[in-house]
Amino acid sequence: MKLNPASILTVTWIALGALATARAGAQTEAAPVQLETYTVFSNRVALQEPVSTFAAPISALVYEPQVDVQARSFAEGQADVSIRGGTFENTGFTVGALPIYDPQTGHYSAELPISSYMLGAPEVRVGGEHAATGFNSTAGGVVYAWRPIHTGGAVSVGMGGDDLARGEIYTGFLAKEKIGGFSVGADASVASARGDGTRKWKDTNGVARDSGFDFQRVSGRVQVANAVSQTDIAAGYQDKDFGWPNLYAARPTTALRYEREELQTKLFVVNNRTELGADGDFVQGGAYYRGHRDHYSIPLLGANSYHQTLVRGAAFDGRQTIVPGTAVKYASGLISDDLDSNSLNKGHFMSRTQVYGSLAAEQTVALSDTRDLVMSAGTRYDDSNRDSSELSPIASVELRQEKAGLRRLYLSYDESTQLPSYTALNSAAGGLFGGNPNLPRATSQNLELGAELAAAAWTVQSAVFYRQDDNLNDYIFDPTGALGTSRTAAAVGLDTLGFEAFVRYSQARFDLLAGYTYLHKADNYQAPRNGSFYALNYAEHRLTVGGVGRLGAGFELRVDNEFRRQADNALRREGADNVLSAAGLFYQVPGVKGLTLNAQVENVWDTAFQEVPLVPSSGLTWSTGATYVW
């Protein structure tokens, strides 16, 4: 399915021009403005849309304080999502009640062909909450809820450097008449983007290469809802074609090699959430089908790999009060997958079924009218037809307060487990990516102490944690050549000590956002000289600072920054420190309610920092655009 970005841009610019002309006589006060609700995808970052392409679920995570997005090219092209120093395969993604995952590799777990206009802000779950409801991920997870549908919509277009052109049209309709007490709505989105990319070079054969990309996405949804229940039936399709030097198969001893991927992802989802009372009780559940095709190639080597995965899943979770002060929390799921590949066929199996379930008791003791002590304890069960089962305890004690100041103080302990992906299990031992069919189930233990504060315009969240990973799946490189591959999957041990904090300060004229993460790791890798592409590719210190300034007269300035000091890594080039900045100026057009013009730039300083070792960074990217919301 191929859409023409130029056509989308042309039609949309004509439509926006006509609207501006038709409504030119209207008057608008020169007062501070904010982006319309439709276009706000997260309140923990300043910039809401990417520069290089249309907004995707991963877009709001790039400057998210609790998430480290390690991009190849730009985040929406290919990027690894890491939480609390875990690897790209330790992070889970959940939509509603459903854990959506890619069994071939965690590189593709964030390929969710759903418009950001349909999803709520990403919620980062860690510790016991993730251990209870996540799936096949040990460090943390990103959870998206389905947005309620309203009559209205948005059109967003942009064009910029390197022949960039992007656009998305979203529209929603909610019927005025209810059926049996339920409202019925539907929404749909079409998005497209293309460009030549920021990296151009000649390969070892003297052939000119660029990092061009061509993306399309179509998604739609029907929603049936009332005051306590919401059912969403959604479908999405995404097509991505892009190239990048050293995309995956980089080695320290070789020059830049052009690598290319073509990805097609389809997703069908049904999900229901029902609120059960004022105590926070609820139940949600659903089912999904995900198909993903991947054609990965290295033209210089004549390498071509074709993979197709199919995943069917069903899951539910909830909370139910038994008697006042006592509740149970539960979750369960069944995930089945199949792999068809011309290269990932050296393992023991090509299909797998996994089941999980968790059950915990929660006791609330009232200490005063505004203060409660909440204690929770339970266990989680994970099993597979291809591996052994595992029981994992989950426990926490928490002080909650309703008054200003300290709102929450908690101590928790949890364990979680994970099975390796097919790329790690089924790659040939001597191929580009050395596999190991006997990789065991990974286990993780996490102990943390955290607090949340709120007073006037301030909100603060912080936590200190210690996580111990056993049989963690990492990809390592031996510089002595003993491994003979670009990287080899290995089960390693890793201890991580961390501290994280997030602060938000909001006033009528501006918002300030800041996050800080400190990580220290101790590993037991097979040899001191082995280089790690993922588990030891992390920032010891990472600071995010963002701001929104409502300047008046229709102008708004949004800025996001990331300052990082990277841990030593034998594979890394281009230094260990980096400052990544993005900025956007937005202008609400007088007389045209809902029309905003923008100019944005990404990687303001044009740094060459390698977010993944040996993979060139994306250069400075700029675009101008317009968004109309109705």
C-alpha 366, offset from chain centre = 37
pLDDT at 219 over 90: yes
Longest alpha-carbon distance in the chain: 75
**How sure is the predictor about 37, in pLDDT bands with cuts at 50, 70 and 90?**
low
| pLDDT tens-digit series, residues 471-489 | 999 998 877 666 567 888 9
Contact criterion met (CB below 8 Å) for 361 and 450: no
Supply the pLDDT for residue 204. 66
Separation in Å, CA 159 to CA 8, 41, 198, 213 = 11, 21, 14, 14
Supply the pLDDT for residue 34. 55
Give, as one character, the DSSP assignment of residue 117.
G
| pLDDT tens-digit series, residues 162-210 | 999 999 999 999 999 999 999 999 999 999 999 999 988 776 677 777 7
Closest CA to 89 of 101, 106, 72, 76: 106
If one compares 531 and 260, the residue with the highest pLDDT of the two is 260
Q: In terms of C-beta density within 10 A (0-12 exposed, 13-18 middle, 19 or more buried), how is residue 301 classed?
A: exposed
Supply the pLDDT for residue 526. 57
Lowest mean pLDDT among 103-112, 119-128, 517-526: 517-526
Percent of the chain with pLDDT over 90: 78
Give, as one character, the DSSP assignment of residue 116.
G
pLDDT at 269 over 60: yes
Cβ neighbors of 405 (< 8 A, separation 6 or more) are 453, 454, 455
Half-sphere exposure of 483 (CA within 13 A, CB side): 25
Mean pLDDT of 148-162: 95
| pLDDT tens-digit series, residues 240-257 | 999 998 899 888 877 788
Contact criterion met (CB below 8 Å) for 547 and 512: yes
Tell me the C-alpha distance between 218 and 1, whole Å.
9
81 three-state secondary structure? strand
pLDDT at 28 over 50: no
39 three-state secondary structure? helix
**How sure is the predictor about 13, in pLDDT bands with cuts at 50, 70 and 90?**
very low
Supply the pLDDT for residue 309. 98
Our CA dihedral for 504, 508, 509, 515, rounded to 10 degrees, sits at: 0
Block residue for tokens 């305890």: 393
Tell me the C-alpha distance between 363 and 376, whole Å.
6
Three-state SS for 61-75 is HCCCCCEEEEEEECC
| pLDDT tens-digit series, residues 401-417 | 988 889 999 999 999 99
Give, as one character, the DSSP assignment of residue 454.
E
DSSP 348-408: S-SEEEEEEEEEEEEEEEESSSSEEEEEEEEEEEEEETTEEEEEEEEEEEEEEE-SSEEEE
Q: Give the DSSP H or E segment for 431.
A: none
Tell me the C-alpha distance between 417 and 118, whole Å.
31
Supply the pLDDT for residue 239. 98
pLDDT at 7 over 70: no
Average pLDDT over the chain, rounded to an integer: 90
Contact criterion met (CB below 8 Å) for 416 and 448: no
Separation in Å, CA 233 to CA 265, 272, 332 = 17, 9, 20
Supply the pLDDT for residue 278. 80
Supply the pLDDT for residue 403. 83
Architecture of domain 5-629: Beta Barrel (2.40)
pLDDT at 445 over 70: yes
| pLDDT tens-digit series, residues 367-400 | 999 999 999 999 999 999 999 999 999 999 999 9
Supply the pLDDT for residue 482. 62
By residue count, the chain amounts to 630
Give, as one character, the DSSP assignment of residue 148.
P
| pLDDT tens-digit series, residues 316-339 | 999 999 999 999 999 999 999 999
pTM: predicted TM-score of the whole model, two decimal places:
0.91
Mean pLDDT of 110-119: 96
Mean pLDDT of 110-136: 95
Q: In terms of C-beta density within 10 A (0-12 exposed, 13-18 middle, 19 or more buried), how is residue 288 classed?
A: buried
pLDDT at 17 over 60: no
Contact criterion met (CB below 8 Å) for 51 and 622: yes
Q: Give the DSSP H or E segment for 550.
A: strand 539-552
Contact criterion met (CB below 8 Å) for 161 and 621: yes
Supply the pLDDT for residue 250. 83
The one-letter amino acid at 107: H
Phi, psi of 483 (to 5 degrees): -80, -30
Percent of the chain with pLDDT over 70: 92
- Percent helix, strand and coil across the chain, each to the nearest 5: 10, 55, 35
